[in-house]
Structure 1
Amino acid sequence: MSSATKEAPVTGGKTASVAAKKPAGTVQENNATFGAKFKRQMQRNWVLYLMLLPAVFFVGLFAYVPMYGLQLAFRDFDPTAGLTGGKFVGLKYFQQFFETPQFWDIMRNTVVIALGTLILGFIAPIILALLINQIGSKGVKGFVQTITYMPHFISTVVMVSLINIFLDPNTGMIGKMFHGQILMESTKAFAPIYWLTEVWQHCGWNAIIYLAALSAVDTSLYEAAKMDGAGRLQLIKYVDIPTIMPTCIVLLIMNMGSVLAVGFEKVWLMQNAMNLPVSEVISTFTYRIGIIGFQFSYGTAIGLFNTIVNFIFVVAANFISKRVSETSIF
């Protein structure tokens, strides 16, 4: 037996060898506090944190500081007393909104316009991205992609002006097809017009993220599928769609946060006395009540209600997605 091997005394007919213990780690790593780690991170990446600082300041100033005014929803606003000087009234303005005769009409209009925009605006960019991805020529693909996302940069005022021009019953290229019917005054046509113009304006821009996901597909998958006799539809079904599915789910969850947040500017500019029964949504009603009617507390309560409902939709969509597909944003 080697002299380097030591044996412990025999107990019960068994010999136990004495093994040296491995160190669990350095004293510095085991005893480092959170503050020390943070300081070390700041010293290493201070340039990155410095670049992040303007964005943090911007978000804090325009997203969190205004939240101080949410207390107006629970107070009677008094201009002479400031935001915190009004009388506390609890849920008075929430109850007032729920009891207003327009409540269900406003909610119906908001949900119809928002859900139609959400569904079409979610499906159309995916289809467009899949079609563009099948174009073989890089030059043609880049041209098509550029043409489709350019409408995204058209301002809302210009977009509504174009809608009015195209749908004019006398001179409009589309309006003439309806034999003098004024589509902008039709209660049945308002929502479809809003949906289709939203898809046309933003479809190409929203497709960019799906094209980015498709660009990461291994080309060997396409080659292997083609060798097995797969056509274009089979390539899309078995290669492209599974690749972008996690991206689709994440974007859908994020879009659920704006289910009731129908864009104010476009709806407001498209409104007129004839289509008002179907075009009055939460955002325009809030503007009418809060700004034009000087009922700031009432308008704040409506806006807070809208935000809470959107937050619930996000949490619910994320929970369902996490249970079904194991893909979530938090």
Structure 2
Amino acid sequence: MNHETALHRRAPYAARKSRMIRLLNKYKYYYLLMLPGLLYFLIFKYIPMGGILIAFKDYKLAKGIFDSPWSGFKWFEILFQTEDFWLALRNTVIISFYKLIFGFPAPIALALLLNEVMSSAFKRIIQTIVYFPHFLSWVVLGGMMFTLLSPTTGILSLFGVSNSPVMQPEHFRSLLVWSNIWKETGWGTIIYLAAMAGINPELYEAARMDGANRLQLVRYVTLPSIASTIVILLILRTGHILSAGFDQVFILYNPLVYSVADILDTYVYRVGLTMGRYPLAAAAGLFQSAVGLLLLLFSNMLSKRLGGSGLW
């Protein structure tokens, strides 16, 4: 009797195993295509998470991560008592907020404009032009901006401007926001254009029969149809609110604008790699990631509470 019971219990497991093998064999080439992406996230995202332990240890390079003594929350206490950390946190929130307010709607507006272009050839030309800055690194763009905004050799020299905005704290944040919009807006339209391509043409035909003009088509057909895409991208953007763009800031900032430009990413770089205080830098990075995760969860919950769609 016990033997029969064991066989009955083993049967569902054997069936599931057989089904899994059939699925793996059926979609093996798809899984093979997924393998490079999975390896990327495993090697560069998940394995390095072991370094989080440094934030809770008196890390010694000679002893390594696992043999260094535990220190509890000592480095977090030091971090929260450091004025430079709070300044970097304040700058990060302000710059990210500006980028969210002014930068997030920009790809939506550009995608709506491109969607109204009837000539496919002209549309492709415009898309190529607005996509191109995304493929340039901030090293190249930073050099271009320093040259163009130079008060001696750049465009500003034609207007008699004596100081470059790159060197002025009151203008530096605006420069970060608008240069980021110029670089990334075109690339950000891809997802929205793909979402618009999936809208049922019959919806537009029905709206035209009701007398809707072009603006009303956008307002009552296009925008509601891509609302779920907008919400999902907004949720993902909220999770990166404490990541204000290390490459851009690191290339453009200088000692004259540290008070308004030093962000958490540059703070972690400076404290960890330049000063060698690895546990303090790890604590700051862990704080940044934890807050980002909480903001992501909160925005997803808020979206679902308001009747919208969420990530899960």
TM-score range, shorter chain: over 0.9
Using the size of structure 2 for normalisation, the TM-score is: 0.92
Shift of 1:229: 2.1
- Match for residue 116 of structure 1? 98
Distance, in Å, in 2 between the alignment partners of 1:31 and 1:311 is 36
Shift of 1:219: 2.0
Alignment CA distance shift 1:114-1:177 (3 Å): farther
Residue 24 of structure 2 is aligned to residue 73 of structure 1: no
Q: Which moved more, 1:109-118 or 1:212-221?
A: 212-221
Distance, in Å, in 1 between the alignment partners of 2:13 and 2:270 is 60
- Match for residue 94 of structure 1? 76
Matched pairs, number = 304
Question: For 1:125-274, what aligned pairs fall within 5 Å after superposition?
Answer: 125-174=107-156, 176-177=158-159, 179-274=161-256
- Match for residue 24 of structure 1? none
- Residues 175, 182 of structure 1: 8 Å contact kept: no
Shift of 1:240: 0.8
Shift of 1:256: 1.3
- Residues 166, 175 of structure 1: 8 Å contact kept: no
Stretches of structure 2 lacking an aligned partner (at least 5 in a row)? 1-9
Distance, in Å, in 2 between the alignment partners of 1:323 and 1:33 is 40
Quick one: higher RCO (CA 8 Å, sep 6+), 1 or 2?
2
Alignment CA distance shift 1:112-1:148 (3 Å): same
Distance, in Å, in 2 between the alignment partners of 1:141 and 1:258 is 31
Alignment CA distance shift 1:141-1:29 (3 Å): farther
Q: 1:278 aligns with which of 220, 245, 260?
A: 260
Distance, in Å, in 2 between the alignment partners of 1:106 and 1:43 is 51
Shift of 1:319: 0.5
- Match for residue 13 of structure 1? none
- Match for residue 19 of structure 2? 37
Shift of 1:178: 6.5
Stretches of structure 1 lacking an aligned partner (at least 5 in a row)? 1-27
Alignment CA distance shift 1:263-1:178 (3 Å): farther
Which of structures 1 and 2 has the bigger CA Rg? Answer: 1
Distance, in Å, in 2 between the alignment partners of 1:184 and 1:208 is 31
Structure 1 segments of 4 or more deviating over 6 A? Answer: 28-31
Alignment CA distance shift 1:113-1:31 (3 Å): closer
Classify the secondary structure of the residue corresponding to 1:301: helix
Classify the secondary structure of the residue corresponding to 2:296: helix
Alignment CA distance shift 1:176-1:218 (3 Å): same
Alignment CA distance shift 1:178-1:125 (3 Å): farther
Residue 37 of structure 2 is aligned to residue 55 of structure 1: yes
Q: Which moved more, 1:55-64 or 1:302-311?
A: 55-64
Classify the secondary structure of the residue corresponding to 1:107: helix
Q: Which moved more, 1:195-204 or 1:318-327?
A: 318-327
Shift of 1:94: 1.0
Shift of 1:181: 2.6
One-letter amino acid of the structure 1 residue matched with residue 53 of structure 2 = Q
Distance, in Å, in 2 between the alignment partners of 1:66 and 1:78 is 18
Distance, in Å, in 2 between the alignment partners of 1:274 and 1:149 is 32
Distance, in Å, in 2 between the alignment partners of 1:63 and 1:257 is 16
Distance, in Å, in 2 between the alignment partners of 1:62 and 1:92 is 28
Alignment CA distance shift 1:31-1:135 (3 Å): same
Distance, in Å, in 1 between the alignment partners of 2:113 and 2:32 is 41
Distance, in Å, in 2 between the alignment partners of 1:193 and 1:183 is 7
- Match for residue 285 of structure 2? 303
- Residues 264, 284 of structure 1: 8 Å contact kept: yes
Shift of 1:105: 1.6
Classify the secondary structure of the residue corresponding to 1:143: helix
Identity %: 35
Distance, in Å, in 2 between the alignment partners of 1:323 and 1:102 is 37
